[in-house]
Structure 1
Amino acid sequence: MIMIRTIFSLVIWMFTLTIVAQSYEKNLAPKTLDVNYKASPRPDRIILTWSKNDLSTQTVTWRTDTTVTDIEAEIAKVTPDVDFYKNETDYDATSTTFTAIDETVQYHTTTFKNLEPDTYYAYRLKADDYSSEWVQFKTAPKTTDKPFSFIYLGDAQNDLFSLWSRVIRLAYKRAPDAKFMLHAGDMINHSQNNYEWGEWFEAGSFIFKEMPQLTIPGNHEYIKNDEGHKTGITPIYNPQFNFPKNGLAEIGHTNYYMDYLNMRLISLNSNQDLDLQKTWLEDVLKNNTKKWVVVMTHHPVRSPAKGRFNKGVIENWKPLFEKYKVDLVLQGHDHTYGRGNKVNLGYDEKNDYSGTMYVVSVSGRKMYELGNEPWMEAKAENQQSYQIITIDDSILTYKAYTTDDTLFDGFTLTKRKNKDNKVKEIK
């Protein structure tokens, strides 16, 4: 067994302030539990991500309690032979120990490298005398012109196990070969509530182990004081989600970009330092060589919910989306559904059309009242949904489904030389 290299994150000092500033009770588990989500020596909360902008790698992160002293990750190329795992390669792990409210835990992460394209691999995680199952995943294709799909989900946030679980599982059943899944923030309601994070992981279950997940923090991933002001991102977030460190160190690399075949995905943290991210964003857009650009951010540029308006996002980022002709912006926060590419936002702008398509969606239980905004070509309230997006060379196809698995909204974007994308509604 390979000994853990533990990086001790001494964050207990900040939690003296946190517990006072943020309701202690809101971050504790319910008094009556059906499931105990506390850490144990057995690996849990297993999730695939990319910690590098490199499709020949795959990162896996998992949790244990602090009694574990020996861990390793094993990976093997899948073959028809039942004994394929005997040709495994062992990997070391980097571990982080921290305390959040009422529990001290360890998160471990390792990155598998030099993986062959379009190939099935299986991995297993071992901690002392405990092992996970062998989990199988498939690497990205080698050629950039091969069609691929991915899943986009708006805020989960509430009733995660009881109601949100059906949404993520429906999405997986409709697109089991999707290459990754996007979460536009507010995965939970209270940033340090271990029980809520436990429900989120139970709802995602084996999906998180097999399909890479890409997230951004919403406002509910942040700690708040008594006045409701954000004091910092939950210390659970970065150890739990490992993404490329090509964003800003000043905000803990919670913004990043990831290239997948002929698409660049840019993830922005709309909770803080929007002006700093503006410079970074322009550089990432200016140096892009991919055919498609998709942005994911929590707070919407275009708000479908009644009475909402995000001035900072509009002033700092929207001009760059238009300047560099970002194709699609995926958002959350408003707990309604809205989609369109009209520019009119009531903020000294002309009533014309933009080349950028904006979407706001919600996958969880919490709902807000829908506003009557002129930019929306499609809209809905009190409706959970999931979205499947497919890129096939010069055509992007977007489809939104409700929880009875009915197609609710859809469109295609077609690339045109020196022109805005051609938009065609799917009826």
Structure 2
Amino acid sequence: MKYNHIVAGILSAFWCASLAPVLADTIPVNNLVQIVASDSATAKTVAWQDSSGRRDYTVTYRQKGSSETARAFVTSPKRPPVYDAEWVPPYTYGAYMQGLRPDTEYEYEIADADGESGWFPFHTTTEQLNRYEVLVFSDTQSTDYSVWGQTAQAAYEAHPGAAFFTVVGDLSDNGQSWYQWKAWYENADILTSYMPIAPVLGNHEAYSLDWKFCEPYTYKALFPVPYGAPEGQSRLAYSFDYGDVHYAALNTDYEELHELYPDMMEHEVTWLDQDLADARKRGKRLVVLMHRPAVTATYRALPDINGTYFMPLFDKYHVPLVFTAHEHCYARTEPLIDGRPGEGGTTYISTGRAGTESYTDTVKRYCDAAYYNPTDQPMYLTLAVEPDTFTVTAYKTDGTVIDTASIAAPSPSGNAMAASAGTSKGKKKGRKVVQKPAENRSLQKKHSTEEPGSWQKEKPDRIQK
């Protein structure tokens, strides 16, 4: 990353009294990032890197202003195999802070035998937070990662109050190239300095330097995502709660990984079935993140193996919204159930590309209500979580609006799920999707003249790195 965190100055005796009688030296914390935690109201996860592989790191946290501290669980240092002697990856550490109080100010400190970092503040959300914004990117893989950096910069400047961001797979063009990951991190810095990331495994994360299928070692080392993966797939799939929404990030790399994980789809379906059932019982709304689409846009426009396995569960649990990637085009389906436009169905949104790589062979599918191939410039999306509604807007990097749609997403603990008039093409009725025309709309100015949502009004503190 561009910035190494070095806390300057002298920490007050008040802050250090509960830790040590003598003021310790300040230590650097390199590439400090926030990872989405299992529950935004009760947990916090951070990760950082160093080249030594030392095992004496501790992370202490406390409520702000309190002298009572607790220790986080710190993972052992993880580093992928060294594939290129000229680009040796660092060790990555993760710290899981659990048992926090909702809507409470906390602070944490990283320490080793040489000193302490100083305190980093954070604030847990309420348990039923139902209004916030998420930045959605995909396929940041690039021949020039500064293009990804420009996309990240544009998204952050237009939406500085986003709660977290996700990259729906293919973060790196070659998953075992530390040269590429280093460039990815440097250009993601504008985002990772302010908000957590929810990474999603893509197929390019499972390529070796000689472009053969392999275990995604580097991806797994870099991202200490929440525990609770499908059997045998630690860090490849996971889920988390952010406010009143439950997100499931899936592993769709059957083509690349089925020889390593022969029963991966069966295990993942078993896990996802239980995961979505538990989330519904807790009164959570549902969003799924998956790299490969359930219905392909390229070639046949038919469900692939991921659609065959996962779409029945999306129907069973009335998942309102699924974000996909892989095909580098933007496509929003009509609400689908059993693979066809239908009442109470799921809207699938393919999220384009945020890096340099554009494709020309994608096609509009039979089920698409909106389609755009971003060959001219990269793009990103926003998900505005609101009571009873998910509003998704797709932007070009220059701020031009490609498409926007509002999807009914009531809480399962509330009224029965809404299903009303279908899409603009007048096909079968589906979950209500309100489309808004994109003509003549641009966000080239930083903000529109409309009053921003509450998620846009406050800019979070930057992590000083």
Distance 1:64 1:145, change over 3 A: closer
Measure how far apart 1:354 and its partner are: 5.9
C-alpha spacing 1:385/1:104, structure 2 compared with 1 (3 Å): closer
Q: What's 2:151 paired with?
A: 167
Match of 1:321 among 304, 314, 318: 314
What is the TM-score with the length of structure 1 in the denominator?
A: 0.78
Maintained 8 Å contact 2:132/2:384: yes
| Matched-pair contact (CA < 8 Å) for 2:173–2:180 | yes
Match of 2:357 in 1: 366
Who is 2:369 aligned against?
A: 377
Q: Measured at CA, do residues 349 and 405 of structure 1 come closer, stay the same or move farther in structure 2, by a change above 3 Å?
A: closer
Question: For 1:66 and 1:175, how far apart are their aligned partners in 2?
Answer: 37
> How far 1:210 moved relative to its partner?
3.4
Matches within 5 A, 1:208-247: 208-224=192-208, 230-233=213-216, 235-247=217-229
Aligned alpha-carbon RMSD (Å): 3.2
Match of 1:264 among 246, 251, 257: 246
How far did residue 65 of structure 1 move?
A: 0.8
Q: Is residue 137 of structure 1 aligned with residue 122 of structure 2?
A: yes
Structure with more strand by fraction: 1
Query: 1:334 and 2:327 equivalent?
Result: yes
**Do the aligned partners of 1:69 and 1:128 also contact (CA within 8 Å) in 2?**
no
For residues 174 and 276 of structure 1, do their structure 2 counterparts lie closer, same or farther at Cα, with a shift above 3 Å needed?
A: same
Query: Would you say 1:179 and 2:155 are equivalent positions?
Result: no
Q: Could you list the per-position Cα deviations for residues 176-229 of structure 1 after superposition, in whole angstroms to 9, with x for gaps in the alignment? A: 222221111110011111111111111121532431211121011113596x65
Question: Deviation string for 1:24-82 (max 9, x for gaps)?
Answer: xxxxxxxxxx9999xxx953222212454463110111110126464333546557xxx
CA contact (8 A) 2:50 2:91 kept: yes
**Percent identity over the alignment?**
23
From 392, 397, 400, the equivalent of 2:391 is: 397
Q: Alignment partner of 1:109: what SS?
A: strand
Q: Tell me which residue corresponds to 1:96.
A: 77
Cα distance in 1 for partners of 2:64, 2:194 equals 14
- 2:404 maps to 1:410: yes
**Structure 1: which 5+ residue stretches go unaligned?**
1-33
CA spacing shift, 1:132–1:337, aligned 2, 3 Å? farther
**1:61-72 residue pairs with structure 2 within 5 A?**
61-66=47-52, 68=54, 70-72=56-58
Contact 2:48 2:93 in 1 (8 A): yes
Whole-Å Cα distance in 2 between the matches of residues 319 and 115 of structure 1?
A: 35
1:110 aligns with 2:95: yes
Give the Cα separation in 2 of the matches to 1:367 and 1:266.
27
Q: Distance in 1 between matches of 2:101 and 2:193?
A: 19
What code does the residue aligned with 2:290 have? Answer: T
Aligned pair count? 380
Deviation at 1:96, TM superposition (A): 1.9
Q: How does 1:280-291 map to 2 (within 5 A)?
A: 280-287=271-278, 288-289=280-281, 290-291=283-284
Aligned twin of 1:192:
176
Q: Indicate if the aligned counterparts of 2:106 and 2:121 stay in contact, CA closer than 8 A.
A: yes
In terms of mean alpha carbon deviation, does 126-135 or 202-211 score higher? Answer: 126-135
Consecutive unaligned residues of structure 2, counting only runs of 5 or more, are: 5-26, 255-263, 420-430, 438-465
Structure 1 residues 48 and 146: alpha-carbon distance in aligned structure 2, compared to 1, 3 A threshold: same
Q: Aligned in 2, Cα 1:190/1:132: closer, same or farther, shift over 3 Å? A: farther
- Range 258-267 or range 330-339, more displaced: 258-267
Q: Is the 8 A contact 1:42 1:130 kept in 2?
A: no
How many angstroms does 1:398 deviate by? 1.4
> Corresponding residue for 2:31?
45
What corresponds to 1:294 in structure 2? Answer: 287
8 Å CA contact 2:64, 2:106 repeated in 1: yes
Query: How far off its partner does 1:121 sit?
Result: 3.9
User: Distance in 1 between the 2:339 and 2:185 partners?
Assistant: 42
User: Deviation of residue 137 (structure 1)?
Assistant: 3.4
Greater Cα offset, 369-378 or 305-314: 305-314
The Cα shift of 1:305 comes to: 3.8
Question: 3-state DSSP class of the match of 2:90?
Answer: strand
Structure 2 counterpart of 1:203, which letter? Answer: N
Report how far residue 318 of structure 1 moved: 1.2
Kept after mapping to 2: 8 A contact 1:93/1:108: yes
Shifted more, 292-301 versus 202-211: the winner is 202-211
**Residues 95-154 of structure 1: CA deviation (Å, up to 9, x unaligned):** 224333133632222122343433444444445657667544332124x15412212111
Deviations 1:224-275 (A, max 9, x none): 596x652322x22223211222221312242122122221111110013223
| Misfit runs of 4+, over 6 Å | 34-37, 86-90
Which of 110, 128, 134 is the matching residue for 1:150? 134
